[in-house]
């Protein structure tokens, strides 16, 4: 996808180590980070310099390849990377893909690159399958950032949006800000602007209002882990959007590659929910009038805060899961079919877009 008109991936291998777009400083500036050691890769994931479940898997895979090149102990490197983010199952999928390649540095790097390329291909296929949900002027509500910053080259939830835009369907995107880290405001709005896709930023609390007033045709988000029964964990606030969508007859879809599916997790109740530093809730980071990074406190000193990073949307609220092999039901049978690898030819019937986005 585009940064300043140039095709760019969110992370890539280099002779010096793992390079990545530092998402902590977007949209104020575009900065390229470099992780030369496993510890630096782990810190990039933990601090959300890189984020998004599929991208975490890719960067972790490169981290394990980096350990082999540097002669670091494979077991220790695997363990360090595996404990960076507990909710995103793609992390373990990337690590396991490289681990299975054997101990050689070249074999591990080849496995990491293959895993990276497979995620890019999956995202492109998700976009093609999700395009069936779009008509001219479809108004999409999305949450958090599930574009190419999170998933390499296309994204998941935004992949169909980008394909619709390139097909001349002129989609419109409502971008919820996504407190407390503001991934929607900082990252999704930036991505859509770079790609020239029409969008408007909204406060998180405005999402249900727009759904109720008939100004949303489709709710589309990514996922960090999908259980065997179709329950899906995604950024905190996703569940409330699914509830509002169901209440007003608006289809709610998840878009995710099969690496996000965890058959060993039976239901959403079994998904470990990461809890992050309460200070993320108590403060806001942004740019001051001079364009310099600034951090301000938004609550009285001493105020306690709780900061769960994800919530779980039951499969019963999900109209379908858009995968690289097609749109599958968010049920145990649908998940089993998705993991069998069979290409699906049937498509969902979307609600028709109507009216203008404003």
> Per the structure block, which two tokens stand in for 189?
């709005």
Query: Is 99 marked within a binding site?
Result: no
**139-142 and 218-221 strand pairing:** parallel
> Per the structure block, which two tokens stand in for 109?
């790097």
CA distances from 88 to 162, 171, 341 (A): 24, 29, 21
Q: What are the start-end ranges of the E strands in the chain? A: 2-3, 6-7, 11-14, 17-21, 32-35, 139-142, 172-176, 198-202, 218-221, 225-226, 232-235, 252-255, 283-287, 293-297, 310-313, 320-323, 326-328
224 has catalytic annotation: yes
334 among annotated binding-site residues: no
Does 85 show up as a binding residue in the annotation?
A: yes
Does 90 belong to an annotated binding site?
A: no
Residue 6 phi, psi (nearest 5)? -105, 140
Is 9 a known ligand-binding residue?
no
User: Any idea what DSSP says for residue 329?
Assistant: -
234 is in an annotated binding site: yes
Catalytic one among 224, 231, 262, 311?
224
19 a known binding residue?
Answer: no
* Residues with active-site annotation: 224
Annotated binding-site positions for substrate? 51-53, 85, 183, 234-235
């Amino acid at each position: 996808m585009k940064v300043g008109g140039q095709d760019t991936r969110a992370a890539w291998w280099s002779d010096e180590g793992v390079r990545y777009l530092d998402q902590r400083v977007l949209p104020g500036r575009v900065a390229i980070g470099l992780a030369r050691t496993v510890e630096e890769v782990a810190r990039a994931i933990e601090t959300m310099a890189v984020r998004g479940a599929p991208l975490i898997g890719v960067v972790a895979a490169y981290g394990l390849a980096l350990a082999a090149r540097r002669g670091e102990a494979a077991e220790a490197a695997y363990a360090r990377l595996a404990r960076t983010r507990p909710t995103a199952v793609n992390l373990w999928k990337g690590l396991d893909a490289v681990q299975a390649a054997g101990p050689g540095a070249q074999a591990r790097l080849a496995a990491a690159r293959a895993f990276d390329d497979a995620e890019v291909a999956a995202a492109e296929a998700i976009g093609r399958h999700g395009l069936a949900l779009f008509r001219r002027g479809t108004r999409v509500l999305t949450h958090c950032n599930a574009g190419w910053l999170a998933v390499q080259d296309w994204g998941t939830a935004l992949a169909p949006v980008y394909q619709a835009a390139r097909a001349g369907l002129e989609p419109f995107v409502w971008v919820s800000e996504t407190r407390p880290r503001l991934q929607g405001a900082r990252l999704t709005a930036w991505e859509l602007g770079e790609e020239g896709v029409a969008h408007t930023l909204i406060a998180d609390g405005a999402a249900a209002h727009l759904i109720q007033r008939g100004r949303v045709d489709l709710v589309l988000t990514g996922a960090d882990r999908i259980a065997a029964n179709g329950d899906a964990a995604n950024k905190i606030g996703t569940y409330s959007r699914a509830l509002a969508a169901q209440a007003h007859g608006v289809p709610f879809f998840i878009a995710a590659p099969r690496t996000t599916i965890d058959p060993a997790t039976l239901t959403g109740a079994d998904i470990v929910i990461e809890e992050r530093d309460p200070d993320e809730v108590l403060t806001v980071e942004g740019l001051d009038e001079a364009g310099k990074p600034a951090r301000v406190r938004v609550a009285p000193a001493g105020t306690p805060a709780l900061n769960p990073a994800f919530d779980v949307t039951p499969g019963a609220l999900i109209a379908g899961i858009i995968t690289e092999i097609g749109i599958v039901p968010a049920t145990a049978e649908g998940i089993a079919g998705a993991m069998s690898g069979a290409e699906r030819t049937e498509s969902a019937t979307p609600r028709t877009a109507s009216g203008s986005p404003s």
